[in-house]
Amino acid sequence: MSSFSTISAGFAHATGAPSSNAIVTDVDGLEAGMTQLPDGAPAYFARPQSGANCPIVLVAQEIFGLHEHIRDVVRRFAKLGFFAIAPDFLIRYGDPQKAPDIEAIRAIVAKVPDAETMAAFDQALAFAATRGGDAGRAAITGFCWGGRIAWLYAVHNPRLRACIPWYGRLDGPHTPTQPRWPIDIAAELKTPTLGLYGGADPSIPVELVEAMRARLKRARAPAEIIVYADAPHAFFADYRESHRAETANDAWEKALAFLRATGVG
């Protein structure tokens, strides 16, 4: 396992040079920084310097780790009045930021037990609640692999007010460490959920999205999935070539509106 006292803040090596269009959110008016959760996992958090009882948003990272894009998303939420926190649930099994390629990152991700990840988010939520966050108005959002985690955590913790997965994988290999996928738990979902997906994402075929929709509908689960027809995987990732500004902006506004509608924002 890796040491996490030396986690770097840059972008993951495997994603290539970041785009000049990458959004940079400052820390003016925020308390922001790293903390360590009780089980030793590191987490990045940000919250407004003033104010109390902030709604909480848990942020689940991409497969690229707790790199600068995810930290910036945390700060974006904090600028809007949220206590946002992103636990690094991968680093104990390797550092995706330093991995040479996607295959090396996937090898790291495959080792991470879902049960351990759920516990990390439990601890992140508890930490936020002790630092001025309102656990009664909590939500989770996640990107890429973190989108998968968001679906799973919403079932693990049905007390959440909202769940917003962004292009999270819906099905995949069932292993002892990762035994269930979102499509397996659709009937158990009680948390209001807004899924944001790309119709031009080969890693998550539209047919699979439709199968997920069908299971959610049969279960009368409180969930909606929006598919942006021409959007690729990672359309929100402003530091990558996959970024689609118009789609990303529309999805971000829909996500914020969903948080307001569910009583989080």
233: annotated active-site residue: yes
Q: Return the axis-axis angle of helices 145-156 and 114-130, rounded to nearest 10°.
A: 70
Cα torsion 93, 19, 244, 69: sign: positive
Closest among 17, 109, 115 to 65, alpha carbons compared:
109
Instruction: Identify whether the C-beta of residue 62 lies closer than 8 Å to the C-beta of residue 141.
Output: no
- Active site residue: 144, 163, 238, 243, which one? 144
Number of Cβ within 10 Å of residue 168's Cβ equals 26
Q: Distance between alpha carbon 120 and the CA centroid of its chain, in Å?
A: 13
144: annotated active-site residue: yes
Where are the strands (E) in the chain, listed by range?
A: 30-36, 42-48, 54-60, 83-87, 133-143, 162-166, 193-198, 223-228
- Active site residue: 13, 69, 156, 233, which one? 233
Residues 119-144: b if buried by 16+ CB within 10 A, e if exposed: bbbbbbbebbbebebbbebbbbbbbb
- Active site residue: 95, 114, 122, 201, which one? 201
Backbone torsion region of residue 127, taken as left when φ is above 0, otherwise alpha when ψ lies between -120 and 50, otherwise beta: alpha
What are phi and psi for residue 2, nearest 5 degrees? -90, 155
250: annotated active-site residue: no
Angle (nearest 5°) at CA 179 between 195 and 157: 50
Cite the active site residues. Answer: 144, 201, 233
